[in-house]
Amino acid sequence: MNVDTREMNGWVVVTLAGEVDLQHSPTVRKHLMELMFERRDVAVDLSGVVYIDSSGIASLVEAYQMARKGGNKLVLAPISQSAMRVLQLARLDKVFAIADSLDAAMAG
């Protein structure tokens, strides 16, 4: 799994790629939670995620809960088909803020 972070229009874009599983989800969780503690607006690009499991989804849920408490934004955009399938299985596709593109995420 790869994690890439960059600044864009005042947002932090976190790009996850590869397989987000039990081995790698603690890294994702730590990274996202640090940004949530800083109350940054974050777009998580999941377009390169070929596999994500419940532990990866849990990292996103925890960050989303922190964002709601902190008043900052956490948007998933864009999302690969396989990651969307798992979000739908968890009934979370209607809970997360989801956008088709990074531009749309930052405009919303």
Partner 1 sequence: MTLPALDRLFPARPERLCDIRHAVAETASHLGCSDETVQDVVLAVDEACQNIIRHAYGGAPGDIVVQLGRDDHRLVVRLIDFAPPVDVAKVCPRPLDELRPGGLGTHFIREVMDEVDFVTPPAGAGNMLQMVKRIEEP
The least distance separating partner 1 from the CB of residue 8, rounded to whole angstroms, comes to 27
- Round to whole Å and give the CA distance between 27 and 35: 13
Cβ proximity to partner 1, 57 vs 99, nearer residue? 57
32: which 2 tokens?
Answer: 């996202």
59 binds partner 1 (CB under 8 A): yes
The DSSP secondary-structure symbol of 85 reads H
DSSP 8-state class, residue 90: T
d(CA 26, CA 63) in angstroms, rounded, equals 12
Draw the binding track, 89-108, toward partner 1 (x: CB under 8 A; -: no contact). xxx---x-------------
**Which of residues 3, 17, 33, 58 is near partner 1 by CB under 8 A?**
58
Amino acid at 79: I
The residues binding partner 1 (CB under 8 A) are: 19, 21-23, 51, 53-55, 57-59, 61-62, 65, 82, 85-86, 89-91, 95
